[in-house]
Amino acid sequence: MGKKRKASEAEVADEPTSVSQVEISKDEAERKQRKKEKKEKKSESKKVKSEVTTNGDSAEASAEQPDFTKMTLDELKQKPEGESKSDKAARKAELKKRKKEEKEKDSGDKAEVEGGEPASTETKEDKKKKKKAAKLEEKEQSAEDRKEKKKKARKEAKKAEKAKAEESKDVVMEDADSTVAEPAAEDKMDVDSDSNSSDSEDAKSKATPKSNGSTAPTTANGTESPAPADSAAVSSYMKTHSIKITDPAKPDSESCDLILNFSDLPAVDKSHLAPFSAYKTPTPIQAASWSYLLAGKDLIGVAETGSGKTMAFAYPAVQYLCKLPKSDRNPKKSGARVVIVSPTRELAMQIFEQVEKLTIAAGLKDAATCIYGGVPKDPQRESLAKALVIVATPGRLNDFLEEGAAKISQAGYVVLDEADRMLDKGFEDAIKTILGATPATPKRQTLMFTATWPQSVRQLASTFMTKPVRIGINSPDDGDLRANTRISQSVEVLADGRVKEPRLLNIIHAHQRSSPSAKNDRILVFALYKKEAARLENFLRAKGIKVGGIHGDLNQATRTSTLAEFKAGRTPVLVATDVAARGLDIPNVKLVINVTFPLTIEDYVHRIGRTGRAGELGKAVTFFTDHDKAHSGSLINVLKAAKQPVPDELMKFGTTVKKKEHSSYGAFYKDTSDAKAATKIKFDD
């Protein structure tokens, strides 16, 4: 009984909750129905309103809208008062249609007047297609016309050259029968150059008829073969310029291959000769060395200062690069292919400028880089990764070799500029390291160029080369120094060294007052020590002279800017140590003053060689004191060889030349560079 009561009570308790839930669900359903009814009523009312408005508007439009098709253009342009928006839109649409019709009529009338046909209704795309087709037709026609013109020009050029060749044969036969008097010594050089050019042109025309766009015959290694010059012209040219060529491969041969004109110069492409357009003929060292260097031979070139030695080795270097296949011209894979080493930073930058002109003309942009000390390494390290040609000083190049940034293991063309200085004791170890990183001598072409070639470095040089051709321009066989004969040398023997500074000031003033144009002449003053150079610079500046200075204590940026100011003529006087003595090509240096005599006679020749360059005249004044008497004999020999006056005061110091001592054996050292090589004796077993 108790259990039944509890169950009934639970059912009674649950009844109100179930009733309440049912009521709630009914209320929600009623609400939803009401909302639907409201939405339906709203939508019906909106439809009724839209129908009413549209019917009313149509009725109004039909009753009030004017007929725009019957109006003229002037009436359509006028805006009536109280115009509705729909009328305005209809009127503008009609006005646009009328204007389009008038334009089409006008274009049709024009076409009928010009061509007799009405204008065609073309779309913009059709017009563009027609224009493109017309342009293509014009290009094709112009290309065909150009080809025909080129063919005609080539044929005409060939005919003209054949005619010249026939004429030259007749001229040669006449010259063989007749005898011509030898020109005077003064005019011989000009006459020889003219005859050489005609002879070389005749020889080229005999070999192969050239025309515009054609190339000269090529040798086995890919370069153009030089046109053979007349033997008589070559011999006279060599005598005039005191050229002596020693070729170990042809020791008894007197005939030499000279390139006397730029037109005879072999080139992979004639556009490579653009940097020579400002010059008439090659210099003697260039004429004598190019044929051997382009043939891949080792060479030692000894020529006076300012004789064009840089271009003598730079042009064959670029031709060597152009002959390489493209796969071998990737510096990231093979590294640099040409290495040029110079003793000073300024000389390295000067060589780089000339090499860059040639590489640009050959289409090898950014192929060369210049590496030297005194500046940050990071930019140079980046340029080494892209360089086929490295122009560098020994110290900085060795630094990059040690860290692996410079790759020269496949450099087949190596140049030592100012070779006597590079092979001196100071640079000997660095040069050995650099050459050791390049291929062995049979696979490497090694060049050495200098103005002085003493006996002390000849034996060392022979260890780096294989059967080198030696070319000397006005250079004696015994190794004696020869200064530039165009330089007027004067030596002032001073009893007291303290009078140097006032005497220096007097010489500068006297030169600047000698003529109105002499005020802007460049004057180069040499000192032996860095502190001495700084003292002289301050002294001249205090006296009101515009002067700059270059020495080892200055940073590279200051040295570069000072040298640029001096070259531009804004600073007419430059005081420098022997840093500026070698190789620098500074135009219009009229006077060189040696305040302190250099340590070697070779440096003296290089110092005064900063003037009298490129065929011009120069002047050099040297102060000589009792402290310099050890160099009196060698200085007297240089003066006599150049046919310069020797002062009596200098002769009092004596004419003996002190023998250079060996670093290990002293004065007892005997030079055996000219001795015969020992023969190896083999015994039978």
The tokens for 39 are 């939405």
Determine the Cα–Cα distance for residues 220 and 266; give it in Å rounded to an integer: 13
pTM of the model: 0.56
Asked whether the beta carbons of 226 and 279 are under 8 A apart, the reply is no
Asked whether the beta carbons of 161 and 209 are under 8 A apart, the reply is yes
User: Helix (H, G, I), strand (E, B), or coil: what is residue 551?
Assistant: coil
The tokens for 333 are 């894979």
Place of tokens 């204007």: 99
Asked whether the beta carbons of 320 and 266 are under 8 A apart, the reply is no
Residues in the chain with pLDDT values less than 50: 1, 3-4, 6-19, 52-63, 112-120, 168-225, 228, 662-669
Per-residue pLDDT at 584: 72
Which superfamily does 243-473 belong to?
P-loop containing nucleotide triphosphate hydrolases (3.40.50.300)
Whole-Å CA distances, 432 to 20, 405, 437, 642: 111, 19, 9, 35
The tokens for 647 are 């002062």
- Domain range 487-651, its CATH number among 3.40.30.110, 1.10.150.130, 3.30.590.10, 3.40.50.300: 3.40.50.300
Per-residue pLDDT at 63: 46
Summarize pLDDT for 120-132 with one digit per residue, the tens. 455 666 677 777 7
Summarize pLDDT for 418-464 with one digit per residue, the tens. 887 777 767 788 888 999 999 987 789 999 998 777 776 787 788 88
Per-residue pLDDT at 73: 72
Order of strands across the sheet with 445-450?
243-246, 469-473, 299-302, 445-450, 413-417, 338-341, 389-392, 368-371
Please enumerate in sequence order all residues whose Cβ is within 8 A of that of 576, keeping only pairs 6 or more positions apart, or say none. Answer: 524, 525, 526, 527, 533, 549, 550, 551
Per-residue pLDDT at 413: 96
Per-residue pLDDT at 78: 76
Q: How many CB atoms neighbour CB 546 within 10 A?
A: 12
Determine the Cα–Cα distance for residues 305 and 474; give it in Å rounded to an integer: 11
Whole-Å CA distances, 469 to 298, 448, 462: 6, 10, 11
Please enumerate in sequence order all residues whose Cβ is within 8 A of that of 262, keeping only pairs 6 or more positions apart, or say none. Answer: 273, 276, 279, 281, 282
Q: Alpha helix (H) ranges present in 116-230?
A: 124-177, 188-207
Per-residue pLDDT at 670: 52
The tokens for 259 are 């390139």
Determine the Cα–Cα distance for residues 91 and 99; give it in Å rounded to an integer: 13
The tokens for 17 are 């909750």
Segments of the chain assigned to CATH 3.40.50.300: 243-473, 487-651
Please enumerate in sequence order all residues whose Cβ is within 8 A of that of 157, keeping only pairs 6 or more positions apart, or say none. Answer: 210, 211, 212
Whole-Å CA distances, 7 to 11, 218, 361, 368, 538: 6, 124, 114, 109, 126
